[in-house]
Structure 1
Amino acid sequence: MTINQTSICNEALSLCGAESIDSLDDSTENARRCANIYPQTRLSLIRMHPWSCCVKRVILSPVTTHPSFGYANTFPLPKDFVRLISAGTKNFDIENRHILANSNSIELIYVYDNNNEQTWDALLAEAMSLYLCSKIAKPITGSQAEGDSAWQKLQMLLKQARAINGQERPSQTFYGDDEASLIGVRY
C-alpha cells in the first residue's frame, strides 16, 4: 500500500469509526477536517521526534549582517527547518530563524519538514494516523474516548521510535572528544 495523505487520514478516520475519504479535496466534512489540521499536525509530529526519514545535513555560510553583540556571525536556517539535531559547534544560539555563532561555517544536522509521505518510515505514518485521530475523534464521535486512546497509543509509539533510534545510531558521549575535566580529576 502506498503511504500518502489520504491513506494516513483514512487510517485516522477508521480509528474513529468514521467513513473514509477519496481525497482531501472531497466536499465531505471528514475530508475538510483532515485537510484543515493535516499540515500543522505533520509539523508538530515531525518536531516531536528526530525521525531518520526527516533528517538532512547542510553546511551553512554566514550572511553579511552580524549580531549586535555576543557572536561574530549569523547563519540563516533552511526554509524547511523544523528542529535542530546538531550545529557542529558547542557555542551557539538560535534566534529568529538564524543560528548565531562565532564559527565561520555551521555543519547543520536538522529535522526538516518532509511532506513526501512516500519516503516516511512506517512508524511515522502510524504515528501521524494516531495523532490525527486524537484531534478529530471528538468532533466526529462526540466523545473524547477514542481521541484519548489514540493519544495514549501515540505516546507508546513515540517511546518505541526512540528505542529504535537508540539501536540504529551509534552511542554519543556527553562531553565530546576531550575527556571531561571533572572525570579526569578523579583519577
Structure 2
Amino acid sequence: MAVSEVKICNLALRKLGARLIESLSDSSQEAVTCNLFYEQVRDAVLREHPWNFAAARGRLALLVDAPAFGYAFQYQLPVDCLHLRQLNTPDDEFVVEGDKVLTNRDGASAIYTRKATNPVLFDPSFIMALSSRMAAEMADDITGSSSKAREMWTLYLNAMQSARLADSTEGREDEILNDPWLEARGIYGPDSPLWRG
C-alpha cells in the first residue's frame, strides 16, 4: 500500500492505541486531531534535519531594495523554502529576515529544505520519525495521558536519531577501518586490493 497522509496518521494513532481513520476529513476525534496537527508537525520535522529527499537548489531572486545596513544584497526566499541551508558556498554569510535573505554574495543561489508534501517521496526513516512526533503531539488530546505523551516524545527522539544517522550517511561510501585483524588475514592492508592508504 502506498504511503499517504492517512497512513502516517494511522501509524501515529496505532502508537497511541487509538482507533484508525479512513480519511482526514472524518468527523471522529482522531481524524480532527490528525487534521489539526499533520501539516505543522510535518514541516517542523522537515526543518529539524537537512533531509536528502527534501533538498532543493535554486538561484535566488535579487530584490531592488538593498538592506538598510549590514549587507549589500537582499533576495527573496523561494516560496517552498522551509529552511535555508547555505548559499553558493558554505562560507557565504547570510541572515534570513522574514521571507528575505540578506548577504554580501552577488548572484546568490541557495541550497534549502523545501516544503515536501508528497508522502510517496518521504524517506522511510522520516516517516517513522514523523509518525512518532505526531503521536507525541496528539497524545494528550487522544489519550488524556501525560505519561503517554512523555513516552511518545522519547520514541520520537529515538526515531529522529536513527533517521538522521541513516539520512546523513546516504551517498557516502562505507569505510573499512584499519583493523590489525583484517590486515593480518590479507583482507585489508597494504597488500590488499581494498587498501587506500
Q: What TM-score bracket applies, with the shorter chain setting the length?
A: 0.7 to 0.9
Aligned residues: 171
Q: 2:137 aligns with which of 132, 135, 153?
A: 135
Residue type of the partner of 2:108? I
Q: TM-score, normalised by structure 2?
A: 0.81
User: Match of 2:21?
Assistant: 21
- Asked if 1:116 corresponds to 2:126, the answer is no
Aligned in 2, Cα 1:84/1:144: closer, same or farther, shift over 3 Å?
same
**Inter-partner Cα distance in structure 2 for 1:79 and 1:115:** 13
SS in 2 for 1:74: strand
Once residues 29 and 45 of structure 1 are traced to their aligned partners in structure 2, the CA distance between those partners, rounded to angstroms, is: 23
RMSD: 1.6
Partner of 2:12: 12
TM, length-normalised to structure 1: 0.85
Cα displacement (A) at 1:169: 4.9
Q: Kindly provide the CA deviation profile for residues 5-64 of structure 1, in whole angstroms up to 9, marking residues without a partner as x.
A: 100111111111111110000111110011011111111111111111111011113111
Indicate the larger mover: 26-35 or 63-72.
Answer: 63-72
Q: Give the unaligned 5+ runs of structure 2.
A: 174-197
Task: Give the SS at the match of 1:110.
Answer: strand
Counterpart CA distance in 1 for 2:11 and 2:168 is: 28
* Structure 1 stretch displaced more, 4-13 or 160-169: 160-169
Matched, 1:75 2:75: yes
Could you say which structure has the larger radius of gyration? 2
**Fraction of identical pairs, as percent:** 31
Structure 1: unaligned runs, 5 residues or longer: 172-187
Please report how far the alpha carbon of residue 96 of structure 1 lies from its aligned counterpart in structure 2 after TM superposition: 1.9
Q: Which residue of 2 aligns with 1:176?
A: none
